[in-house]
Chain A
Amino acid sequence: MGEVILTMKGIDKSFPGVHALDHVDLEVRKGEVHALMGENGAGKSTLMKVLTGIYKKDSGTITYEGKEVEFHNTREAQDAGVVIVHQELNMLGHLTVAQNIFIGREFKKGIRIDDKKMNEEAKKLFDRMHIDIDPKETMSRLTVGKQQMCEIAKAISHKAKVIIFDEPSAALTEAEIEELFKIIRDLRDQGLGIVYISHRMDEIKVITDRVTVMRDGAYVGTLITKDSTKDDIINMMVGRVIYEDPKTQNMTPKGSPVVLKVDHLNAGKMVQDVSFELHKGEVLGFSGLMGAGRTETMRALFGADPIDSGDIYVNGKKVTIKSPEDAVKCGIGYLSEDRKRFGIVVQKTVAENTTMADLDEFCNGPFIDKKKECEVAQKFVESLATKTPGVDQLVVNLSGGNQQKVVIAKWLTRNCDILIFDEPTRGIDVGAKNEIYKLMNQLAAEGKAIIMVSSEMTEILRMSDRIVVMCEGKKTGELDISEATQENIMNMATREIN
């Protein structure tokens, strides 16, 4: 480990209603791989966005190569040598590898772009990284892993001194991760400072030198990796030993019937041979890391994406679900993680959204009975305590939590017995979160069967009666709440038990 190249001190950042970063510190040395860890929403990505100039910090200092700096956009950061390799790749699929690496700063010979030189330079970069990629290959033809290598090559070509990897392994195979680690070690040995953001505990142990842990937007501490155990790190990440009312036992009434059975479901790469059962009155938690295939499973089950194979039984009867229309007819309702895109029609009113899934019930012939519609919407506004000036309010003007309640009302209007909540509290503030939790418990008590997909460990432990854990498109475990702990869930989610 060399001298300090980058110091972030007392970084503070607030968004309306959220204190995203609370005086966070980070120090990166030359020639080290520094892990940045924390649960989803702990503020890791926000911190890196502050560093690379995407967000403006409220207070605190950033010292880079001995000078205090403030980058105003990613390009300034790049030019100074601070480069981020995103989880979502920013690539031009139709261009070649070399063209992607040098986009915006092509080599030229007169007016002609010197593709030959670009290919050679790209080749040199890959040689330096000891990987074999043809610079002339079209980007979209490469595997995701190779595409990531190209992003790294692009970062290196910027003469980077600090490279930030934002969950680089999320979409990679074992072999590709091996290759990635080799490159990261090479870069480290060449004296670069590496920031490595990841969830995967085993990776952290393998690749990093030091670990900085964040929790709820605050700095928790920094450890030397080889001197600390995995439990130390997990304890720091989770922090609180006591959750807000964690469930200690399965609350499902004994012998309650199976309402949904999914048998060997396959759909694309992200859903491989998934089977599970859901009981009446149960909250079944789906845990796993990002990209584990939980949302994909739910979308396939709901008919939003095509199914390759597998059977679905509702109330013991085998059903064919080819479209959301079929699923809704079977009494399944889906509350998407991305409400604005998939959940609500923002330009329509609360009442119109409430009846969206069950409009036939509100029609006399072709005409909509607006009075009835408003009455029912009003009823749900009251019973769910939705905060809105009225049912004729456009949904776009409601807060996240209240939008979520409108989506819940939509499915309750349809009288769906199976509700799939995909990240039900994403983007919802703390107070509203509790209300949503209460509502879900109440629904389960009324006999609805609930599937809850969540990336928040506390949420899973607080809400679920049973927990299914997924990793890389496969189900890796199933636990009753009485035997579930953060640690064994995390283990299953990182595939240590298989």
Chain B
Amino acid sequence: MANKSVSNTAGTNRSFIDRMGGQKFIVLILVIVMFIFFCAMSPGFRKYTTVVSILDYSYYIALMAIGVTFPLLTAGVDLSIGTGLICYSLIGGYLIVHQGWPVGAGMLVTVLMGVIFGVINGCLVALMDLPAFLATLCTCMITRGFGAFIVGGYGIPWPTATAPGGWFRSIFKIQVGGQNIPIGFLWIILLVIVMSFVLNHTKMGRYTRAIGSNKEATRLSGVNVKFYHIMAYVICGLFAGLAAIAYSAIFATVQPGSGAGFELDAIGGAIVGGVSMSGAVGSITGTLIGVFVICLLKTGLPFIGLTANWQQIITGFVLIAAVLFDILKRKKEEGR
């Protein structure tokens, strides 16, 4: 009975940080401190274009992270989102560029591909009982091969902003008087609100958390555990599909074979934002804040003279630090 020892710390005497949202609050301060740090260290960082570029990076990572929060909450994981994103984007772009499909239809296919692979992942994990990390590692490789296979190994340039069909790029960025306005951020905020609602106020979200907390007890309560377990991966796939759109809208060309490592940014962001590897604990807003830690690293480090490669190393350590923090926190809660 792990809960016995927690019992005495009941409601009233929670710390200030806990009342402010716990880890989320600390990480928010971290984001602000990091921002100030980079501003102080580099004059180049103190520019409007930098803010835009941070946001540019944040869109697809944030979307992936929102999605992967659901499998993480069930105490699973989805490692296929990074290569999946590229795969879906390649297939959608291939239909638009090489098959002459309208952009809207191509985008729909992109998102749909995400959902399909979400269903596949969900079935592998929930119905076939494969370990989540292994099943999604396989779909990671499969999506990577599949995307490259479809396009024949060549990069796909989605239509540019000025080309016909380029309207989709203005979903995330519009130009007013020569200035880029990053309106994509509004979409992210909107989706965070929607998914927070789903997580906290619908059956879907409630059961996602319940599965992560105690799958067997949830099943015994008469919940269709398999369905909701699959749905967590479907949501993740859907958001990987949306992230694919964001990625295609921001970057000029999508390269087959890339995308490995994106999942680390997203999972790292979620865990830094307070999602527990052991399931059930975490929030969408926390995830979003965590994503900004990663994005600040991505855009900020080059300004202080460290290459993108350093960013990869540091993200690895940040992930381990966040997981260690989570483990120590749980140990403390269990008393010993």
Q: Which residues of A contact B (CB under 8 A)?
A: 74-75, 89-95, 99, 103-106, 108, 111-113, 115, 134, 137, 139-144, 146-147, 171, 268-269, 305-306
Contacts and interface: CB of A to CB of B under 8 A. Distances in A.
Contacts of B10: 137, 141-143
Contact of B11 (A92, A99, A108, A141): A141
A171 B213 contact: no
A94 B206 contact: no
Contacts of A112: 197, 201-202
B1 A91 contact: no
B7 A94 contact: no
B210 A95 contact: yes
Contact of A92 (B8, B210, B222): B210
A134 B10 CA distance: 11
A251 B326 CA distance: 53
Contacts of B163: none
Nearest to A143: B7
A117 B214 CA distance: 24
Given A94-B281, A95-B210, A268 B335 contact: yes
Contacts of A143: 4, 7-8, 10
A93 B201 CA distance: 18
Nearest to B222: A104
A75 B213 contact: no
Contact of B206 (A91, A106, A140, A171): A106
B203 interface: yes
A94 B209 contact: yes
Nearest to A105: B222
B221 interface: yes
B223 A103 contact: yes
Most buried by A among B8, B9, B206, B335: B206
Nearest to B205: A113
B3 interface: yes
A469 to B, nearest CB: 23
B5 interface: yes
Contact of B6 (A91, A99, A141, A171): A141
Contact of B3 (A75, A137, A147, A306): A147
Interface string B212-224: 1110011011110
A-B pairs, top 7 by smallest CB distance, nearest first, are A104-B221, A94-B280, A143-B7, A104-B222, A92-B213, A94-B213, A103-B221
A75 B222 CA distance: 7
Main secondary structure of the interface of A (DSSP, over half): loop
Nearest to A306: B336
A90 B213 CA distance: 11
Interface residues of B, number: 31
B218 to A, nearest CB: 7
A462 B270 CA distance: 59
Main secondary structure of the interface of B (DSSP, over half): helix
Nearest to A114: B201
A106 B223 CA distance: 11
Given A113-B202, A141-B11, A269 B218 contact: no
B258 to A, nearest CB: 37
Contacts of B197: 112
A141 B335 contact: no
Nearest to B220: A90
Most buried by B among A75, A89, A92, A134: A92
B336 A92 contact: no
Interface string B277-289: 0001100000000
A141 B220 CA distance: 22
Contacts of A104: 218, 221-223
Most buried by B among A113, A137, A268: A113
A9 B156 CA distance: 75
Interface in B193-237: 197, 201-203, 206, 209-210, 212-214, 217-218, 220-223
A141 B9 contact: yes
16 contacts: A90-B214, A91-B214, A92-B213, A92-B280, A93-B3, A94-B209, A94-B213, A95-B206, A103-B206, A103-B210, A103-B218, A113-B206, A140-B6, A146-B7, A147-B3, A306-B336
A115 B223 contact: no
B198 to A, nearest CB: 9
Contacts of B1: 89, 144, 171
Contacts of A90: 214, 217, 220
Contacts of B223: 103-104
Contacts of B281: 94
Interface in B154-211: 197, 201-203, 206, 209-210
Contacts of A146: 7
Nearest to A140: B3
Contacts of B6: 140-141
A305 B334 CA distance: 13
Contacts of B202: 111-113
Contacts of A89: 1
Most buried by B among A74, A141, A144, A147: A141
B177 to A, nearest CB: 42
A90 B223 CA distance: 14
B217 A91 contact: yes
